[in-house]
Amino acid sequence: MTNAQFAAEDVRARLTGTDSESARAYAEPLAAFLNLLTKWNRVYNLTGFTDPQQLLDRNLLECLSISTFLAGTDIADVGTGAGLPGLPLAITEPDRQFTLIESRAKRVHFLRHVVGELGLDNVLIEHSRAEDLPAGACFATVLGRAVAAPPKLLAIVRCLTQPGSRVVLLTSPDIGTAYRQLPADFALRQIVPAGPDGKFGVVVHLERIA
């Protein structure tokens, strides 16, 4: 990697031997996404990770590690920011429809550019706060990454879910433990390490039960 520019071979090599190894088939668009993220980050401050290894591990492998928790075909990513985790998953899950929800105009501009550049027909960008979306917009799986503290986040995603919907969150281990105390309409299913070697955050898998 030179000047944080990623080639498909870089991505393919890093995916080899991980739980996301099957994503190697999408190494070229994944590398293109990382390159766009790196370029736009210089102006728009899209991610705090600038080291190439961090970009691969935290903004790619960690996001791809939650693919096994997805259910259904309609997926929402709340407060997606730079499209994380939604865009890497949309690239590697072309048969699912992803709605990326983001309220900040500059980040929406970036998301739309990526979707156009990569030809992602399975991605819809909503320039909105999740709680301001039209009533009745329910999803089989709702994703979130560092969106808000647990009580506020559950209030946000409640309007996007129905009984049987999954909520899959990438968060830090200390925040993850807070999801052991939930309101009656959500149940905790799993808290597991996220990303390569489980060195970083955790995946919190919840289910809307009422």
pLDDT tens digits, 81-103: 999 999 999 999 999 999 999 99
Mean pLDDT of 121-144: 93
The structure's pTM equals 0.94
Give a yes or no: residue 113 inside a domain.
Answer: yes
What is the tally of helices (H) and strands (E) in the chain?
Answer: 8, 7
**Taking the alpha carbons of 115, 121, 122, 127 in that order, is the dihedral positive or negative?**
positive
Give a yes or no: residue 40 inside a domain.
Answer: no
Q: From CA 90, how far away is CA 110, in angstroms rounded?
A: 16
Q: From CA 115, how far away is CA 117, in angstroms rounded?
A: 6
How many structural domains is the chain composed of? 1
Give a yes or no: residue 11 inside a domain.
Answer: no
User: What was the pLDDT predicted at 60?
Assistant: 92
Residue 79 backbone zone (phi > 0: left; psi -120 to 50: alpha; other: beta): left
Give a yes or no: residue 149 inside a domain.
Answer: yes
**Best CA proximity match to 56, nearest among 88, 98, 80, 103:** 88
Own/partner long-range contacts of 111-114 (Cβ < 8 Å, ≥24 apart):
111/80, 111/82, 111/83, 111/87, 113/36, 113/40, 114/33, 114/36, 114/83, 114/87
Q: From CA 16, how far away is CA 165, in angstroms rounded?
A: 31
Give a yes or no: residue 44 inside a domain.
Answer: no
Q: How far is CA 86 from CA 2, 110, 122, 179, in A?
A: 26, 13, 11, 22
Mean pLDDT of 135-144: 92
Residue 128 has what DSSP assignment? Answer: S
Q: Is the pLDDT of residue 197 over 80?
A: no
Quick: pLDDT tens for 14-37: 999 998 999 999 999 999 999 999
Give a yes or no: residue 146 inside a domain.
Answer: yes
Q: Which residues, in sequence order, are CB contacts of 2 under 8 Å at separation 6+?
A: none
- Residue 113's φ and ψ, nearest 5 degrees, are -65, -45
- As a whole number, the mean pLDDT across the chain is 92
User: What was the pLDDT predicted at 50?
Assistant: 81
Range of the domain at 72: 65-208
Q: From CA 178, how far away is CA 17, in angstroms rounded?
A: 32
User: What was the pLDDT predicted at 11?
Assistant: 96
Give a yes or no: residue 110 inside a domain.
Answer: yes
CATH code of the domain in which 93 resides: 3.40.50.150
User: What was the pLDDT predicted at 173?
Assistant: 86
Give a yes or no: residue 51 inside a domain.
Answer: no
Strands 74-78 and 141-145: parallel
**Best CA proximity match to 143, nearest among 128, 132, 156:** 156
